[in-house]
Homo-oligomer: A and B are copies of this chain.
Amino acid sequence: MAEKPVAKKRPRADAERNRLRLLDAAKDAFARDGAATSLEEIARTAGVGIGTLYRHFPTRDVLVEEVYRQAIGQLGEAADRLIASEPPVEALRQWLLVCIDYLSTKKLVAAALGGNADHLYANSGDIMRNAIEHLVRHAERAGDIRAVPDPFDLLRAVAGIFYVAPETDWEPGARAMVDLLIAGLRKD
């Protein structure tokens, strides 16, 4: 009980194969249509039955989460890199811009921001939350910006510009918003 039998069992080869196929198909579909794509369509594209999809990913959210874990991970790494290489406020600014890029190419980092995450997104959401938290606290400690009650809201505001109207040409507005937020954060 102290040590669970790690790697309890290798999954069957077909299971692993189908899992990867599904993730692959899902990645494309989400990037194309956002998180609302038809799951049956994804299963069809992957060449497996809908039942198989649901066994591997019991809910839409689980699938989304899985697909974006990687991208979200990259965002987390970007935060570390920027903190190491840039002045604190600049690091924060650039990181938000990177997030905008991810939003536009992957469509749905936003999903990881959803707070209905009773249980899901625990992972991705935490990564994002930690990243922005780090960046903001770092800049606070440097004395460059005023205190921010909940740094996560910065992200929500930027993502929100996309989220409210994804069809429009939202990116310029989002970038302008980053500058505006940074301006508001700087100590006078």
| Interface, chain A (partner B; CB < 8 A) | 110, 113-116, 148-150, 152-153, 156-168, 170, 172-174, 176-177, 180-185, 188
Contacts and interface: CB of A to CB of B under 8 A. Distances in A.
Top 4 nearest A-B pairs (CB, nearest first) are A160-B160, A184-B184, A115-B168, A115-B165
Given A158-B160, A160-B162, A183-B183, 13 more contacts: A110-B164, A115-B164, A115-B165, A116-B165, A116-B168, A148-B180, A149-B176, A152-B173, A156-B164, A157-B160, A159-B160, A163-B163, A180-B184
A173 B185 contact: no
Contacts of A185: 180, 183-184
B153 A173 contact: yes
Nearest to A116: B167
A161 B150 contact: no
22 contacts: A110-B164, A115-B164, A116-B165, A116-B168, A148-B180, A149-B172, A149-B173, A150-B176, A156-B161, A156-B170, A157-B157, A157-B161, A160-B163, A160-B164, A163-B163, A180-B181, A180-B185, A181-B181, A181-B184, A183-B183, A184-B185, A188-B188
